[in-house]
Amino acid sequence: MTEYWFRYGVTEVFVDISDEVRVEKLSASYPSLRYDYSVISKIIDEIAVGESIAIIFDYASNREVDLLKSLIAEVEARGFEKNKLKLLTSSWRIDSKILEEELSEVLKPYRGCIVYPWSEGKIEYSGVMVSRSIIESQVKIYLSSILPHGVLGYPSIGDSLKLSGWVGNGLVKDDDYWFKLRDELNLMGICIVGDNVYSGYLYEFEDRCLRDAERKYTVKIKDEVEIILVDCGGWPWDSTLESSLHVVNLVCGGVKDGGLIGLISECREGLGSSVFIKALFSHSFEEDSLGVKALKSVTDLLSRKKLAFVSTIPRSILERTLHSKGFDTVQDLLTYGFRMYSKQASVRIVEGLAWLVK
């Protein structure tokens, strides 16, 4: 028997699989991060003492938090006044209340510096509506990661600013607008891709980040399997069904038609936003939100493939809305899969956010 572990909320869960079963484990996980702290110093070297600084922090994974702390520590060490610093904090991937809960302790000494996109207005700049703190700060430093998303593919930095609410006017659909805004505002940045960190002015490295992300997180497969098991990265990324469903779209290409996708997602905060819940129960997909788009894609997929969950969401809700089974343990889910396909079925375990393509 071999043990396989999955992230589940703030803990981990496991499954034992007989060595006689054909199991393939794919990984797009990068636990180690290669960089030296000189990247922080080089960014701060570009800033004159006395200038106002806006750090635009898009919370994409837990790995950016250490970089954020290092960046703030360097700002303090250089003698910048605290009242000249603004932390523009957001995450389009998780609920706003969860974002505030997650970062309230991490950024406790800087609570007076935190600005959320929903807490301030925008002003027009070069034909685009941009949050006031970005425009009024002399220095703008973006900090985040580029990770695959089941609806967006590989979102650009411009996409993340739009989705987080810092900029408006259809920026996602118009690259020329984004390039103009990026260059005119002299946006600097620190961006994690896999095990690397890119830094400098965004125009210098953004394209390389996107190419590197696609190379590292796109996993080519030869054959489809009967059963896939995948988690959503644990808390807070599996906090709701809405935040989890996009992962189904990332891995669905690796399972046969008629096969089973087992999603391990605690969803301790329930289903998601009111817009998502309405679409989930009514099967009406008119609202233009990422959660609704992911739901529509999964609903279409269920005509060809099966979906089952290890989750705290009541089984009756999963069966009623997604016609899917719910289980308390991964072992129970896998037993369900073997009953459908026999123990001769091949199993694929996906670690990390991997986009499976043939």
Q: pLDDT by residue (tens digit) across 151-188? A: 999 999 989 999 999 988 554 456 777 888 888 999 99
Same domain, 124 and 151: yes
Tokens of 145: 């990661």
pLDDT level of residue 216 (50, 70, 90 thresholds)? very high
Over range 192-221, report the average pLDDT: 94
The three-state secondary structure class of 205 is helix
Beta-bridged to residue 356, according to DSSP, are 219
The confidence score (pLDDT) of residue 174 equals 63
pLDDT at 42 over 90: no
Over range 64-90, report the average pLDDT: 89
Same domain, 118 and 229: no
Report the alpha-carbon angle 170-174-176, nearest 5: 135
Greatest Cα pair distance in the chain: 68
Same domain, 137 and 273: no
Same domain, 284 and 332: yes
Any domain includes 176:
yes
Any domain includes 212:
no
The three-state secondary structure class of 119 is helix
The confidence score (pLDDT) of residue 169 equals 59
pLDDT at 65 over 50: yes
pLDDT at 353 over 60: yes
Any domain includes 127:
yes
Q: Which of 158, 178, 193 is the last residue in one of the domains?
A: 193
State what percent of residues in the chain have pLDDT above 90.
72
pLDDT level of residue 76 (50, 70, 90 thresholds)? confident
Look at 9-13, 26-30, 176-180, 263-267 and tell me which has the smallest mean pLDDT: 176-180
Same domain, 312 and 349: yes
Q: Which domain holds residue 148?
A: 38-193
Same domain, 181 and 72: yes
Any domain includes 204:
no
Q: Residues 6 or more apart from 236 whose CB is under 8 A from it?
A: 94, 98, 99, 102, 243
- Cα–Cα distance for residue pair 193/157, rounded to 1 Å: 12
Distances, alpha carbon 254 to alpha carbons 15, 17, 59, 178, in Å: 20, 19, 28, 34
- Cα–Cα distance for residue pair 13/346, rounded to 1 Å: 21
Contact predicate 305/255, CB 8 Å: yes
Q: What is the CATH number of the domain that holds 54?
A: 3.40.50.11440
Contact predicate 192/67, CB 8 Å: yes
Q: What is the CATH number of the domain that holds 9?
A: 3.90.226.30
Same domain, 98 and 189: yes
Q: What is the pLDDT of residues 297-344, one digit of tens each?
A: 999 999 999 999 999 999 999 999 999 999 999 999 999 999 999 878
pLDDT level of residue 46 (50, 70, 90 thresholds)? confident
Same domain, 346 and 310: yes
Same domain, 162 and 225: no
Any domain includes 323:
yes
Q: Residues 6 or more apart from 22 whose CB is under 8 A from it?
A: 345, 346, 347
pLDDT at 37 over 70: yes
The confidence score (pLDDT) of residue 171 equals 47
Q: Residues 6 or more apart from 281 whose CB is under 8 A from it?
A: 320, 321
The confidence score (pLDDT) of residue 337 equals 95
pLDDT at 27 over 70: yes
Which of 74-78, 125-129, 156-160, 272-276: highest mean pLDDT? Answer: 272-276
Crossing angle, helix 38-45 and helix 64-77, to 10 degrees?
50
Contact predicate 182/158, CB 8 Å: yes
CA 312 to chain centre: 21
- Cα–Cα distance for residue pair 289/287, rounded to 1 Å: 6
Rg (CA), the chain: 21
Same domain, 232 and 327: yes
Any domain includes 309:
yes
Over range 94-105, report the average pLDDT: 89
Tokens of 342: 């026999």
State what percent of residues in the chain have pLDDT above 70.
98
Any domain includes 109:
yes
- Cα–Cα distance for residue pair 47/43, rounded to 1 Å: 7
Burial class of residue 221 in the structure, from the number of CB atoms within 10 Å of its CB (0-12 exposed, 13-18 middle, 19+ buried): middle
Same domain, 159 and 285: no
Any domain includes 205:
no
Same domain, 65 and 162: yes
- Cα–Cα distance for residue pair 336/329, rounded to 1 Å: 11
User: What is the number of domains present in the chain?
Assistant: 2
The confidence score (pLDDT) of residue 286 equals 86
